[in-house]
């Protein structure tokens, strides 16, 4: 699976899945060096956890097609979905949006394989 939007929401949910043994790949920009070198440490009221080795990538092409994409970036970045999503998709890929706002599902539905 891939997480697009490796901020607070994407890192929390993707981190929980990675800590449980799921193969999670994070698309990261500014935080790429910290994730790639230092892993992920989360302090939470629901229990702290660590993912010592995070699979972080700078481009969606490096990640490649996955079965599930979690979109967790701010909806104001949705204009980039047309460039970011296609390299992550195959015919059976599911896309889950964890975004706040209206029109996110409609924006995702417009993306072509």
CB atoms within 10 A of CB 60: 21
Domain boundaries, the chain: 2-109
CB atoms within 10 A of CB 33: 10
pTM of the full predicted structure? 0.91
- Which CATH number is 2-109's, of 3.40.50.2300, 3.40.50.720, 3.30.470.10, 2.10.240.10? 3.40.50.720
The CA distance from 65 to 47, in Å, is 31
The CA distance from 112 to 9, in Å, is 26
From first to last of the 113 residues of the chain, give the pLDDT tens digit. 999 999 999 999 999 999 999 999 999 988 899 999 999 999 999 999 999 999 999 999 999 999 999 999 988 899 999 999 999 999 999 999 999 878 888 888 887 65
């Amino acid at each position: 699976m891939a997480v697009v939007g490796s901020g607070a929401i994407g890192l929390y949910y993707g981190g929980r899945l990675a800590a449980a043994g799921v193969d999670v790949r994070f698309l990261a920009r500014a935080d790429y060096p910290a994730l790639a070198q230092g892993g992920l440490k989360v302090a939470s009221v629901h229990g702290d956890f660590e993912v010592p080795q995070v699979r972080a990538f700078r481009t969606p092409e490096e990640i490649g097609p996955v079965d599930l994409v979690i979109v967790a970036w701010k909806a104001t970045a949705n204009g980039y979905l047309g460039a970011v999503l296609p390299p992550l998709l195959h015919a059976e890929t599911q896309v889950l949006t964890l975004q706040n706002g209206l029109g996110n599902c409609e924006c995702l539905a417009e993306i072509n394989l």
